[in-house]
Structure 1
Amino acid sequence: MGAATAVLIRPRAALVLGRVSNLPTVLSNALAGIALTGIGLAGAAWPPAVLIGAAAALALLYVGGMYLNDAFDAEVDARERPARPIPRGDAARGAVFAAGFALVGAGVALAAVPGPAALLCGALLAGAILLYDAVHKHTAAAPAIMGLCRLLAYLTAAAMAGGDALGTALLLGGGGLFCHVVGLTYAAKQEAYDRLDNAWPLAVLAVPLAGALWAAMAAAGAAPLALVLWAALAATTAWAVRRLFRRAPGDVPRAVAALIAAIALYDAVLIAAAGQPLPALIAALCFPLTLALQRIVPGT
């Protein structure tokens, strides 16, 4: 698996393994999960500890899951993606497994602090992450499992904030996020080959666009900020889909990276539609921040 077998995990490899450039979208997920419970409406302040705790728990689960993704995929990556840290020798597989499980465990422990409901949601999220990492190379259902992970991120943040993790707005918003992630994960599965064999599954990307537009239009005063953010989401999705259809060299990874960053825009639309402009702007800023960080650390 590489020449540098004495190395546990090199510093840059730690960042690459965790896909840390995508962490702003985890923050936007936490913001949306809390906002869709109604917390913070009518000018009420968000307790900082609530947002910090939820974002930290989701970040630990995300990074831990990405570590385990590479650890489980080490043999496949040695053939298809030899530049990944483990086959390259920049990280020992055993150390990556240990770090991944430790981070996921820490994320669940942090999620458990507010109470049983948050613990349940965090545990379900951890289970979905482990399921994806273990079987995603062997099942066509992998995109759906990944979509479930992001849906459960909403629910975990909501439960940690003391909100109803089964609220209608939360489940509808999470359903749209599920569809967005299913579409981008389908495309990402073709990334190693830099091609897209079938384009029709990308139709699922229309679901979050339609749902987000409905939320923006249904908001009081048609929520101008929500509509502007929706336009940015639609433009980004269209740009990415065009490149997936074009299939020129490098188009698939660029499109996937853009769709990952667009998660923050989707979150921002829902937050703005919920009448919370400041958190919506913070979530929206996570979009360019993710794109900028992806230039330093690959997001896929």
Structure 2
Amino acid sequence: MSAPVSSSRVGGWLIGARTGRSGPGRAPGRGAETPGSAVRTRRPGRARAWAELLRLPALFTVPGDVLAGAAATSARANSRTLLAIGSSLCLYEAGMALNDWADRTEDAAERPHRPIPSGRIRPAEALTAACALTAAGLTLAARAGRPALAVAAPLAATVWAYDLALKHTPAGPVAMAAARGLDLLLGAAATTGRAREAIPSAALLGTHTLAVTTVSRQETRNGSPLPPLAALAATALLTRLITPRLPAGRGPAAAPGLAGNPASGPIDSDLSPSTTPAPTQITQAAAEAVPRRLVGAAVSAAASRGARGTLRGLRTTPAGRPALMRGPRAATHGLPATRAATHGLPATRAATHGLPATRATTTAGTALRTSATAALRTTLSAAYAATVVRPYFHAALNPSPPLTQRAVGSGIRATIPLQAALAARSGARTGALLVAALAPLGRKFARKVSVT
């Protein structure tokens, strides 16, 4: 009978189920020793042993937590954000070293090739590394400010509690999800001193972590299809929440005064000379906006010159208030064109339809940026769903150890596109692209050092 699953083997706080474990009735996992392998295989060096203990390729799933948290505050990353990333990396690796130290007896029976059971690293060295990395992580968080330390301290406590006490209990997946959520809040607290704005993003990331950790708890035995099905439902919900919602028949960023927004009316490209209002008059709404003193000044100027023709430039509206001419004729009737423009009478054609030229340019630029962000969010959301849906479905149909392990591995890899989508959801396109770029790097280094 296999021992309980350790849920921090892959991806640290994310999940880290033990994939590739050797146990009764199973073929040796990747890197497991077989009879005679000690003779055929050269003993790895100390550097590689530490790389295996700390699972260095899994570090690529960590910076995205902090960057997504910083993006949730709508603030630019700064030097404190970098300190938070350093703190997060240290606490993450502390959990890795502590995990192997706590599981050294179990690994001696099931994974004798791991650094501690194989004798390449002594247990005392692993425990010392865990303590030193925890201290370094808290120190970096303190350098980032008191708000960051206030989040890093419970994060470190959660990591130690999980590895030493909660791992094999029903509270294990919840503790793992809490650690990931706190790591995201660390980025927000360090960047701006406020973590509350990042709570929704932390909840979404924690939900993903909870789902994958729950699946990982049955990866060494034939289990129930319910955890993979629950993970599928969680993935569908998360994908729906991080994907931008586009109304039917409209673009993603219809802005006032632009095509596609019926509330703003037509724009210049949709107008023809036959539909353009007469340039010698303005609408009643614009006339209502003209100050009374401006109207009085125009009437006084006309009376002083004794020019009855001047008064023809003022037309009475149904409300009993005069409507002014605009443009050059407005100037000839006692109302300078510049003042007319400042009081709701723009001189450009775009302004005739309620959208000044400069504002139209600004609005168009904003709409373009919004469209780019929406497209990026959609792409990252699709990448997140595509990474995990099929493996979860296969594990639900056949919850055998190999398919369950594959589902867990896919869930770990999906963390990076989810982090990137959360950053894009907050409007941080550059941060989202940086996080997404970590995915291929993680896969590349995982070919050299296993993350399991």
Residue number in structure 2 paired with 1:70: 100
- Aligned-pair distance for 1:146? 0.7
1:122-271 maps to which residues of 2 (within 5 A)?
122-167=152-197, 170-191=198-219, 193=220, 195-202=221-228, 203-204=230-231, 206-207=233-234, 209-217=236-244, 221=253, 223-245=374-396, 246-247=398-399, 250-271=402-423
| Partner Cα distance (1:76, 1:161) in 2 | 41
Letter in 2 for 1:216: T
Query: Is this contact kept in 2: 1:70–1:86, CA < 8 A?
Result: yes
Instruction: Note closer, same or farther for the CA distance 1:20–1:239 as it changes in structure 2 (3 Å cut).
Output: farther
1:274 aligned onto 2:426: yes
1:247 Cα shift? 4.7
Write the mapping of 1:78-157 to structure 2, written as runs, cut at 5 A. 78-157=108-187
Which digits, 9 at most, give the CA deviation of each residue in 1:137-178, with x for residues without a partner?
Answer: 4312111111111000011111111242122xx111111111
Hey, what's the Cα distance between the residues in 1 that align with 2:193 and 2:391? 34
1:53 is matched with which residue? 83
Distance 1:17 1:244, change over 3 A: farther
Q: Report the alpha carbon displacement of residue 12 of structure 1 after superposing the two structures with TM.
A: 1.1
Which residue identity does 2:386 align to in structure 1? A
- Deviation of 1:288 after TM superposition, in Å, equals 2.3
Shift in Å, 1:196 = 4.9
List runs of 5+ in structure 2 lacking aligned partners.
1-37, 247-251, 254-370
Q: Mind listing any 5+ residue stretches in structure 1 that lack a counterpart?
A: 41-45
- Distance in 2, matches of 1:206 and 1:256, equals 15
Partner of 1:20: 56
Which amino acid letter does the alignment assign opposite residue 199 of structure 1?
P
Q: CA RMSD in A?
A: 2.3
Separation (CA, whole Å) in 2 of partners of 1:75 and 1:11: 23
**Which amino acid counterpart does residue 200 of structure 1 have in structure 2?**
L
- Percent identity over the alignment? 35
Q: CA deviation at 1:249?
A: 6.2
In 2: Cα distance, 1:243 partner to 1:91 partner: 38
Give 1:293 deviation, angstroms: 2.2
**Which letter maps to 2:53?**
L
Where 1:112 maps in the other structure, the secondary structure is: helix
Q: In structure 1, what is the Cα distance between the partners aligned to 2:199 and 2:414?
A: 19
Contact 2:66/2:81, CA 8 A, preserved across alignment: yes
Give 1:287's aligned amino acid: A
The TM-score with structure 2 as length reference comes to 0.59
Letter matched to residue 67 of structure 1: A
Moved more, 20-29 or 219-228: 219-228
Equivalents in 2 of 1:189, 1:89: separation in Å? 27
- Residues 80 and 144 in structure 2, CA contact (< 8 A), matched pair in contact too: no
Q: Deviations over 1:35-84 (max 9, x none)?
A: 111113xxxxx32x233212111000001111001101111111222222
- Larger mean Cα displacement after TM superposition, 195-204 or 224-233: 195-204
1:297 and 1:243 mapped to 2: Cα distance? 27
